[in-house]
Structure 1
Amino acid sequence: MTSDEPDAAPDLADALAIIAAQRARADDTRPSGPLLFGIWGAAWLLGYGALWLTTRDDGSPSALAVTVAITAGVVALVVTIVHVMHRTRGIAGASAREGALYGVAWPIAFLAQSMIVGGLSQAGASGEVISLAANAIAALVVGLLYIAGGLLWDATSMYVLGAWMALTGAAAALTGFPDSYLVMALAGGGGLLAGALVETVRTRG
């Protein structure tokens, strides 16, 4: 065979190995469905469960339960941002810029949520209305950002997670207090943990 002849085409095993390696690299840049479902499911089940269990006759939960719920939500939020930034850290060009802008969108969205809730308070809304709105808007913010992330990284599990969170928050707003806490804990947290289990089985199958 002369030196100017093309190299022999790779056999089928080599071709499949190349495809598998490329898919693995692509998967490494997508957010982990089991992790994100699991962290938010645990946060909602623990936080909202504590709020519901400690709700007093006047409809307000204990200060300790509020602290637990806020802490759980902040931890889940931080884990989400750190995880997404870690997965996209090695990506250059437009994808890196998109990942950075996505990360910045989180504090912007929650600042807007806080301002809306503050506006409701200044307008004279009752404590129950303010609490329902704060919870529903927060769930909507997280849900829509997850949907955006699912579209950005072609991650179906992340998209489904966002849709579930947004719809659960809306359903909780319709039930009123204190039942909204139970909806968020069981339908929200329990549903997300079930999603984590399904994603774990699917990715290992």
Structure 2
Amino acid sequence: MEDEARMTPEESLSLIRQQEAATIHRLVPNPLFTYTPWGVSWLVGYGLFFLSYGLDGTPILPIPWGWALAVLLALQLLAFGVMFYGMTRSSLRVKGRSARKSAMFGMAWGISYPTAMAAASRFGPLLPPAEIGLFYTCLTLVLVAVLYMAGSAVWGDQRMFFLGAWTAVVVSAGAIAGPGIAWLLFSLLLGGAFITIGVLGRHRP
């Protein structure tokens, strides 16, 4: 009876994999919540910027710049809320050193963004009007790139490093290309990359 009750090696391996998947599902934030919302906000928001500005300052659609900015900010707030929900669901189950790492990483975002905006508010108005929006955008996206690469070093997450490095490359190209092309690059290449990584890396049953 004992021999019949024992699990075969295949059954044991299957059970181990099921338990591992269940642990990851409970303790690791779902990439669908942490990456995809930002990708959608950038795809739509910067896409509206591009349509409002065009390639050379000639609008493709009559979309007021203020409306496009309002949509981008609203989508980013929504993305932050979804990400916070996804991370909170997992972090509440994690204690000790990992919880402290997550808390410090979250504080790094909260400290760096106001600092960057304070510097931008001082130097941004010195730029030509057409360049101010690109300056603010590049500054915030550089923070995203640096913090994502730093986060990958903390948790060993290769996806975070890829997204951080990819963001840095795209921002560099956009800064060189200037307004218009930059909005198109940020919309398609950054928004598309974050959506793709989030969808492909989502937790599966």
Question: What TM-score results when the alignment is normalised by the length of structure 1?
Answer: 0.78
Letter paired with 2:67: L
The runs of 5 or more residues in structure 2 that have no matched partner are 1-5
Q: Equivalents in 1 of 2:117, 2:41: separation in Å?
A: 20
CA contact (8 A) 1:30 1:153 kept: no
Q: Structure 2 vs 1, CA of residues 188 and 135 (structure 1 numbering), >3 Å: closer, same or farther? A: same
Q: Equivalents in 1 of 2:114, 2:124: separation in Å?
A: 15
Q: 1:27 offset after TM fit, Å?
A: 4.9
CA contact (8 A) 1:35 1:196 kept: yes
Q: 1:16 offset after TM fit, Å?
A: 5.3
Q: Structure 2 vs 1, CA of residues 109 and 130 (structure 1 numbering), >3 Å: closer, same or farther? A: same
1:92-171 to structure 2, matched below 5 A, reads 92-121=95-124, 124-171=126-173
Structure 2 partner of 1:90: 93
Q: Equivalents in 1 of 2:153, 2:28: separation in Å?
A: 11
Report the RMSD for the aligned CA atoms in angstroms: 2.9
Q: Equivalents in 1 of 2:160, 2:25: separation in Å?
A: 13
- Equivalent residue for 1:195, pick from 178, 194, 197: 197
Q: 1:58 offset after TM fit, Å?
A: 7.6
Q: 1:88 offset after TM fit, Å?
A: 1.7
1:13-28 to structure 2, matched below 5 A, reads 13-14=11-12, 17-18=15-16, 20-22=18-20, 24-28=22-26
Q: Equivalents in 2 of 1:97, 1:127: separation in Å?
A: 42
Q: Equivalents in 2 of 1:196, 1:118: separation in Å?
A: 33
Deviations 1:144-180 (A, max 9, x none): 2222333333332233222222322222111111221
Q: Equivalents in 2 of 1:58, 1:118: separation in Å?
A: 27
Q: Structure 2 vs 1, CA of residues 160 and 81 (structure 1 numbering), >3 Å: closer, same or farther? A: farther
Structure 1 partner of 2:75: 72
The runs of 5 or more residues in structure 1 that have no matched partner are 1-8
Letter paired with 1:84: M
Q: 1:182 offset after TM fit, Å?
A: 1.0
Higher relative contact order (CA 8 A, sep 6+): 2
Question: What TM-score results when the alignment is normalised by the length of structure 2?
Answer: 0.78
Total equivalences in the alignment: 194
Q: Equivalents in 2 of 1:63, 1:35: separation in Å?
A: 28
Structure 2 partner of 1:183: 185
- Out of 32-41 and 99-108, give the one that drifted further: 32-41
Q: Equivalents in 2 of 1:109, 1:161: separation in Å?
A: 19
